[in-house]
A and B are shown apart, each in its own frame.
Chain A
Amino acid sequence: MQPAFLLWLSLAAVAGGVLGSFLGLGGGIIIVPVYTLGLGLPVHLAVGTSLVAVIANASSAATVYLRSRLTNLRLALVLAAVTAVGALVGGLVGTSLAGTWLLAAFGFTLIAVGILMLVRPDSSRAGEPRPEQGLAADVAERAWDLTGHYFDRASGAPVTYRPRRVGTGVGFSFLAGILSGMLGIGGGVVQVPVMNLLLGMPIKAATATSSHIISLTAMAAAVVYLGRGYVEPVITAVTVLGVFVGARTGARLAQVLPGTVIKRAFSVVLFYMALRMLAEAFGLTLPF
């Protein structure tokens, strides 16, 4: 492997980690297009590599969230059971598809995420439900006792919530698993807004719980990609370390930079990457 290639690879991995963490999307959604379009790697290899990096990064984040008790562990396990099935299905579908179809699927997903960032740039950071919101659960949800508690350092007060519409959340988790397994993205793109907006969970708990789910489920797809030879050791090592370092920088930047403006601006970059991927998939030439 050429030193110049390794340098670009590490820069791309760090950039993916920084942007993915800062934008709340996870590194995979940046890494896969950059590796395929920018570095010319086969899309299956980019997805397999991204999945391993996603596991390492989500596991590291999950450690911190577990210690601060932000994770709703019971809900994470319930949703992980379904997400893992989705990830396995996604992994099998992704490895069976021709590269062009995988590029097209990624392109359309980028467009959807770009629209979400443009329309609701705060969907991954804002939208705290009222404390009483989500406490009106049905009998089944009470029986499962999925109530979450944590101490919110920002407000200096304890927070208690009970997720509602968990059944719907289970359905979306399956979808998140398929997307994650097929495209090598974490799945938080779907899970976090669903847990926050639909299940009525505070955003911090939703982010933490999503990280935990990813740390449990991305493996179901990663082993499928590994089994097909789509995980190259040196590329994976550079990616895992690059994303690991970049994600920490991105998390710090998120606390000091104006997220909404940057998210809206970055949605343009996502649209551009989506167009490039779709053009590549359908054999078209873009004038830009």
Chain B
Amino acid sequence: MPSDEPVYRRLADLLRYGVVAGLVPVVAGLVLALGTGRTGAARALITAGVALTLVLPPAQALVAAVAYASRGDRRFALVATGVLFVQLLAAAVAWIR
């Protein structure tokens, strides 16, 4: 079995940039809300940050699935796809109900 090193690296990079990408609009929105009182634009920015934060887990599962599949590890590619499926199912359930 080859080392999982590349999978670890890809996921760590994704999470690092993903967390920052989610936090920046949240901070900007908060500054806007407290500094200028422009609540409409602030709420839109914060909502975008929250959405990015919520997209991060499925992105993680997708990257893991692709990384394992590209290494020929079908078992763990399938497990990661299973995680992605449940995450998408949750989003669908939340959308429908």
Those of B13-28 within 8 Å (CB) of chain A:
15-16, 18-19, 22-23, 26-27
Residue of A with least CB distance to B89 = A88
Range of interface residues on B (Cβ < 8 Å): 35 or more
Those of B48-97 within 8 Å (CB) of chain A:
49-50, 53-54, 56-58, 60-61, 64, 75-76, 79-80, 82-83, 86-87, 89-91, 93-95, 97
B-side interface mostly: helix
Could you tell me how many residues of chain A have their Cβ less than 8 Å away from some Cβ of chain B? Answer: 48
State the CA gap A69–B12 with chains docked (Å): 10
State the CA gap A220–B56 with chains docked (Å): 12
Binary CB contact string for chain B from 2 to 44 against chain A (1 if under 8 A, 0 otherwise): 0010011001100110110011001101100110000100110
State the CA gap A127–B64 with chains docked (Å): 31
Residue of A with least CB distance to B44 = A233
The reply to whether B58 and A219 form a contact with Cβ atoms under 8 Å apart is: yes
Cβ 8 A contact of A240, one of B18, B26, B42, B56: B26
Q: Give me the interface of B with A, judged by CB distance under 8 Å.
A: 1, 4, 7-8, 11-12, 15-16, 18-19, 22-23, 26-27, 29-30, 33-34, 39, 42-43, 46-47, 49-50, 53-54, 56-58, 60-61, 64, 75-76, 79-80, 82-83, 86-87, 89-91, 93-95, 97
Give 8 CB contacts A-B under 8 Å: A55-B54, A56-B19, A226-B54, A233-B46, A234-B33, A237-B27, A241-B26, A241-B30
Q: Give me the interface of A with B, judged by CB distance under 8 Å.
A: 6, 52, 55-56, 59-60, 62-63, 66-67, 69, 71, 73-74, 77-78, 80-81, 84-85, 87-88, 91-92, 144-145, 215-224, 226-228, 231, 233-234, 236-238, 240-241, 244
